[in-house]
Amino acid sequence: MAYTEDDLKEELKGKEYKYGFTSNIEADKLPPGLNEEVIHLISAKKNEPEWMLEYRLNAFRSWQKMVEPEWAHVHYPKVDFQSLSYYSAPKKKGDVKWEDIDPEMKATMDKLGISMDEQKALSGVAVDFVFDSVSVKTSFQEKLKELGIIFCSFSEAVQNHPELVKKYIGTVVPTSDNFYAALNSAVFSDGSFCYIPKGVRCPMELSTYFRINEANTGQFERTLVVADEGSYVSYLEGCTAPSRDENQLHAAIVELIALDNAEIKYSTVQNWFPGDKEGKGGVYNFVTKRGICHKNAKISWTQVETGSAVTWKYPSCILKGDNSIGEFYSVAVTNHYQQADTGTKMIHLGKNTKSTIISKGISAGHSNNSYRGLVQIHKNASNARNFTQCDSLLMGDQCGAHTFPYIEAKNSTAKIEHEATTSKIGEDQIFYCNQRGIDTEKAINLIVNGYAKEVLNKLPMEFAVEAQKLLEISLEGSVG
């Protein structure tokens, strides 16, 4: 008999989240609950200077006055912030030598395909691995040091480069920016820090790998990337989590600072556990990502989002300097009962600023996928230009795609273009592939990858292949 879409549906139902294992690693974990005492404790555990503690406490006080935002097109039971643990660290800290790292954690890294083995690392990617709340190991540190590049865990940066952290933290995402950002600023545990000195072109991809392992913990990491004048860096971020029945919270902050003539390319492949096919479990991904561009600077966000039960995320650019450029390339896939409300904000402040937004949503199953974007042209931003293309691809008839574009132009010289399409994978396309000997499952992969190609092309090579595979795994081919 012919292989039908129903067969495919059945087959794909069996396909499970590949990264859903848990690691049995002893953890040093705070009891659930959040108050000033907990914040003191976190800060003390990390041996932080006074100003860092003050920063956290200020954030906590503003967070207490805030309410959780409800404007996003997502529905989920409210998180009980008092039931979460705000700090979890593997007991054996592997910040010194590779040999000291818990073998169980090494096995975890192997499973995730992360090589910290610098001898064997042919891929030329420097990795910072963040396990639950703590950064475990950063590779290639020595080599980068020769160029004056600082790439280390956030905690180390607070200890070793306090002047840089103090100067830049919270300058793009202030503590009171939004509910989740305030929470993160109060309780953030670790993350990555990166500084590229003037005129230096970082010779390798820098990468952070995030993993939530412990149950009932929130992961709150911070990434701060500072590209000094005329420098360049390409930064990658990957995320996975074990399959757990309960929801896990991930509320991160990423701040990018591109000084005059600098360029930052920031790529994310997000594959947090999306919940099972009935919509049980999964990660709540409430992330604030923002970058600021000074004169002639450029920030480019590329994201492939296939995971998380609920995603709330808008990587944005503040185009402050004249002639600065902001880009946002996104593929967001939702399946089963996943919900994503994602997009970007391009804030044009400087003259001749340019922004490009390419957003590709793919919805399958019972999922909901929303694009929310703001293009804001301020009154001094003469000759600002924006191009937005926002496409949605629907698979099956149970899912939803939504677009919420906001445009505010206060300068009459602004040029703003917005294009949007919605399409379905056609029976005709699939049959055409079948007739050339390509089965339905492969045909869907081919069509989806073709659809997302513009964005996938923006990813560094190693990641593009990974991302393609991810798209294949995450899609249940409910076509019709």
Partner 1 sequence: MIKINNLHASIDGKEILKGINLEVKAGEVHAIMGPNGSGKSTLSSVLAGREEFEVTEGSVEFDGKDLLDLSPEDRAREGLFLAFQYPVEIPGVSNINFLKTAINEKRAYLNQEPVSAKEFLGMVKEKSALVELDSKLANRSVNEGFSGGEKKRNEIFQMAMLSPKLSILDETDSGLDIDALRIVANGVNKLKSPNNATIVITHYQRLLDYIVPDFVHVLYNGKIVKSGGKELAIELEEKGYDWIKSENVEL
Binding site for partner 1 (CB under 8 A): 1-4, 426, 428-429, 431-440, 442, 446-447, 449-454
Distance in Å, CB of 120 to partner 1, minimum: 27
Distance in Å, CB of 446 to partner 1, minimum: 5
Question: Of 206 and 452, which CB lies nearer to partner 1 in the complex structure?
Answer: 452
285 vs 249: CA distance, rounded Å: 6
Residue type, 425: I
Question: Of 134 and 358, which CB lies nearer to partner 1 in the complex structure?
Answer: 358
Task: Using the CB atoms, write b or e for 265-303: b if 16+ within 10 Å.
Answer: bbbbbbbbbbbbbebebbbbbbbbbbbbbbbbbbbbbbb
Contact status, residue 312 vs residue 341, Cβ threshold 8 Å = yes
Question: Of 240 and 468, which CB lies nearer to partner 1 in the complex structure?
Answer: 468
Distance in Å, CB of 428 to partner 1, minimum: 5
431 vs 396: CA distance, rounded Å: 16
Contact status, residue 145 vs residue 152, Cβ threshold 8 Å = no
Question: Of 280 and 453, which CB lies nearer to partner 1 in the complex structure?
Answer: 453
Question: Of 142 and 428, which CB lies nearer to partner 1 in the complex structure?
Answer: 428
Distance in Å, CB of 448 to partner 1, minimum: 9
User: Do the bridges between strand 134-138 and strand 125-131 make them parallel or antiparallel, or are there none, so unpaired?
Assistant: antiparallel
Distance in Å, CB of 454 to partner 1, minimum: 7
Question: Of 44 and 465, which CB lies nearer to partner 1 in the complex structure?
Answer: 465
Distance in Å, CB of 452 to partner 1, minimum: 7
Question: Of 128 and 391, which CB lies nearer to partner 1 in the complex structure?
Answer: 391
Tokens of 233: 């860096």
Contact status, residue 288 vs residue 253, Cβ threshold 8 Å = yes
Question: Of 119 and 435, which CB lies nearer to partner 1 in the complex structure?
Answer: 435
DSSP 79: P
Write out the DSSP string of 9-21.
Answer: HHHHHT---TT--
Q: What is the dihedral angle through the alpha carbons of 374, 375, 378, 381, rounded to the nearest 10 degrees?
A: 160
> Does an H or E element contain 419, and which?
strand 415-424
339 vs 335: CA distance, rounded Å: 8
Question: Of 10 and 36, which CB lies nearer to partner 1 in the complex structure?
Answer: 10
- Give the residues across from 90 on adjacent strands: 27
DSSP 85: B
> For residue 212, how far is the Cα from the chain centroid?
14
DSSP 106: H
User: Do the bridges between strand 354-363 and strand 232-240 make them parallel or antiparallel, or are there none, so unpaired?
Assistant: unpaired
- Give the residues across from 347 on adjacent strands: 318, 376
Question: Of 296 and 468, which CB lies nearer to partner 1 in the complex structure?
Answer: 468
Distance in Å, CB of 443 to partner 1, minimum: 9
Q: Dump strand ranges (E) for 143-202.
A: 150-153, 190-196
154 vs 346: CA distance, rounded Å: 27
Distance in Å, CB of 173 to partner 1, minimum: 34
Distance in Å, CB of 424 to partner 1, minimum: 13
Write out the DSSP string of 268-321.
Answer: EEEE-----TTS-SEEEEEEEEEEEE-TT-EEEEEEEE---SEEEE--EEEE-S
- Give the residues across from 343 on adjacent strands: 372
252 vs 257: CA distance, rounded Å: 17
Neighbours of 5 (CB within 10 A): 18
245 vs 215: CA distance, rounded Å: 9
Question: Of 14 and 437, which CB lies nearer to partner 1 in the complex structure?
Answer: 437
Question: Of 236 and 447, which CB lies nearer to partner 1 in the complex structure?
Answer: 447
Cα atoms in the 13 Å half-sphere on the side-chain side of 458: 26
